[in-house]
Structure 1
Amino acid sequence: MEETFGTLAALSDTRQLVADPADDVRGRSVVDSGGEKIGTVADLLIETETNHVRFLRVEHGGILGFGAQASFVPVEAIVRLTADTVYVGSSKDHVAGGPKYDPDLVGERAYYEQIYGHYGQIPPYAPGSLYPGLTGLTGGPGLPPIR
């Protein structure tokens, strides 16, 4: 039997909260593997059945918020968290060159497979996939507990 994603939803569209507001990564800067700022975490995409955070929605580019684009970054791409920064193991150009956030495709398995493939990550429903063990994030270890 093939495992699949459950229903994914933006945390901001649910009635759920991060259990400890100090662990909420929304609003934190996202920095690439070279130390360059990519953008800001705008929202978290959670699997509603498990409350696992699956993606960060990162807004980047633009000037003063105008013309900014959004991209999903899988939580598996996070390499480190601090109180105000999320570090990813990709370059700024790699994130910017990934599949763009498209509200019409949210919920489509093929869309998520493109994102995971872009980052060289295994989708969570694939054999051998493990949820990242990051300290400070839930939806699993390292991501803020969602309640």
Structure 2
Amino acid sequence: MTPTLVTPQTTIDHVALVKLGDTDLTFISTQDLRNHTVTDSAGKDIGHVSALFVDRKDHRVRFLQISAGGFLGLGDRVFLAPVEDITNLHPLKVQLGHTLDTVEAAPLYDPVLSNWHDAAFWNAYYAHYGLPTMTWPGY
């Protein structure tokens, strides 16, 4: 279920998952999940996919950034979920394998203060969702 990307030649100089919108990467097909509604395992709305985090080394989407609440982007609560937690894709909808309570209890994500270049930061999300942690070779 992981979307496939095409990339121009780039130099990777450090550990990083980066927001897809901050790169020059593009999707091969119509698998872009941004702006899709996100539901929990029971079908309850959580929010929408506001960004995708891509591994700069292998160009794979690794995380969904989910925004919930707020109005016109103000006051949104932001959550992260590994793409491995996606159980179903429907037209304009992504269903996760966990409940809203689990998503809300995920490690705190602050787009300004979070250390995106630290493998432990990302692996805390895999552990929270009960998924095997990633190995980040070459980082």
TM-score (norm 1): 0.75
Greater relative contact order, per chain length (Cα 8 Å cut-off, separation 6+): 1
- How far residue 99 of structure 1 moved from its aligned partner, in angstroms, is 1.4
Residue pair 1:69, 1:100 contacting (<8 A) in 2 also = no
The Cα offsets for residues 17-64 of structure 1, whole Å up to 9 and x where unpaired, read as 1122x2210000000011100010011101111111110111113345
Distance (Å, rounded) in 1 between the aligned partners of 2:22 and 2:87: 27
> Which of 89, 102, 123 pairs up with 1:113?
123
Q: Give the paired residue count.
A: 121
- How far residue 7 of structure 1 moved from its aligned partner, in angstroms, is 2.5
Larger proportion of strand: 2
- How far residue 124 of structure 1 moved from its aligned partner, in angstroms, is 2.6
Q: Are 1:11 and 2:14 an aligned pair? A: no
> Which aligned segments of 4 or more residues in structure 1 are displaced greater than 4 angstroms?
none
Distance (Å, rounded) in 1 between the aligned partners of 2:91 and 2:26: 18
The Cα offsets for residues 84-142 of structure 1, whole Å up to 9 and x where unpaired, read as 1100011112111111322332121221121111101112318xxxxxxxxxxxxxxxx
What root-mean-square deviation, in Å, do the aligned CA atoms of Structure 1 and Structure 2 show? 1.8
Residue pair 2:15, 2:117 contacting (<8 A) in 1 also = no
- How far residue 6 of structure 1 moved from its aligned partner, in angstroms, is 4.5
Aligned to 2:33: 25
Aligned to 1:125: 135
Residue pair 1:58, 1:72 contacting (<8 A) in 2 also = yes
The amino acid that maps onto 1:112 is W
The amino acid that maps onto 1:62 is G
Residue pair 1:41, 1:56 contacting (<8 A) in 2 also = yes
> Which of 34, 37, 61 pairs up with 2:45?
37
Instruction: Map residues 1-147 of structure 1 onto 2, 5 A cutoff.
Output: 6-20=15-29, 22-103=30-111, 104=113, 105-125=115-135
Aligned to 2:10: none
Identity across matched positions, percent: 34
Unaligned runs of 5+ in 2: 1-13
Distance (Å, rounded) in 2 between the aligned partners of 1:71 and 1:101: 6
Moved more, 106-115 or 22-31: 106-115
Secondary structure, counterpart of 2:27 in structure 1 = coil
TM-score (norm 2): 0.79
Unaligned runs of 5+ in 1: 127-147
